[in-house]
């Protein structure tokens, strides 16, 4: 960014009160702004953006469509300079193209991982079904008991049990309270 004092649209000093939070101490426009901007409504956003979180990761400037803000802190106060971005449109277009390419690469990588994952998951699920049928031979167990054996969520164990029931490997024997009991055929 090339610095030019004529590029400064306005400046504001944001103070911070421990009870009330951020407040506007001073605001001055140096140039006529051709877009609508209400400094009062952005106080909390600017203060938290520049002063919140880890001190080593606080931004120095934030770029918006019509302006960018550079902030300098002094104690709990924040001096904001509002400037007009010049010639950033082309740079942003190039960055957008790069981001689009990266997003496509990440999507393709995620799809490849998902294609590999179901085979492992189906093998695990097949093994769980086999163990459940063996566990339920000549005895009955409740769904919560089975869920604890395999450290599964309720929906996961119910999906497995429904599939086993549809395949005629298990049947429901009784229901006590909210617990369904099962046995193998």
Q: Are residues 80 and 130 in the same domain?
A: no
Give the lowest-confidence range in 55-59, 121-125, 160-164. 121-125
Question: What's the pLDDT band for 1 if we cut at 50, 70, 90?
Answer: very low
Residue 111 maps to a domain: no
**pLDDT, tens digit, 9 for 90 and up, residues 127-176:** 888 888 888 888 888 888 888 888 788 888 888 888 899 888 998 888 88
**pTM over the 0.95 mark:** no
Q: Are residues 85 and 12 in the same domain?
A: yes
Q: Are residues 127 and 72 in the same domain?
A: no
**Domain encompassing residue 79:** 5-89
Q: How many CB atoms lie within 10 A of CB 4?
A: 10
Total domains in the fold of the chain: 2
**pLDDT, tens digit, 9 for 90 and up, residues 88-108:** 777 778 888 888 888 888 888
Residue 104 maps to a domain: no
Over residues 96-122, the mean pLDDT reads 77
CA distance 96 to 87: 15
Mean pLDDT of the chain: 82
């Amino acid at each position: 960014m090339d610095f030019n004092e004529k590029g400064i649209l306005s400046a504001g000093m944001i103070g911070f009160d421990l009870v009330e939070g951020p407040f506007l101490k001073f605001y001055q426009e140096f140039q006529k702004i051709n877009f609508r901007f209400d400094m009062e409504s952005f106080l909390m956003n600017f203060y938290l953006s520049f002063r919140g979180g880890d001190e080593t990761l606080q931004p120095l400037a934030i770029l918006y469509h019509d302006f960018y803000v550079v902030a300098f802190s002094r104690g709990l106060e924040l001096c904001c300079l509002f400037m007009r971005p010049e010639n950033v449109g082309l740079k942003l277009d190039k960055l957008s193209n790069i981001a689009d390419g990266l997003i496509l690469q990440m999507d393709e990588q995620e799809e490849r991982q998902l294609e590999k994952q179901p085979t492992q998951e189906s093998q695990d699920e097949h093994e769980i079904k086999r163990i459940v049928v063996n566990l339920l031979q000549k005895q009955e167990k409740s769904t919560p008991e089975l869920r604890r054996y395999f450290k599964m969520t309720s929906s996961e164990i119910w999906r497995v049990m429904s599939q086993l029931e549809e395949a005629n490997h298990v049947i429901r024997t009784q229901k006590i309270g909210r617990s369904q009991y099962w046995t193998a055929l």
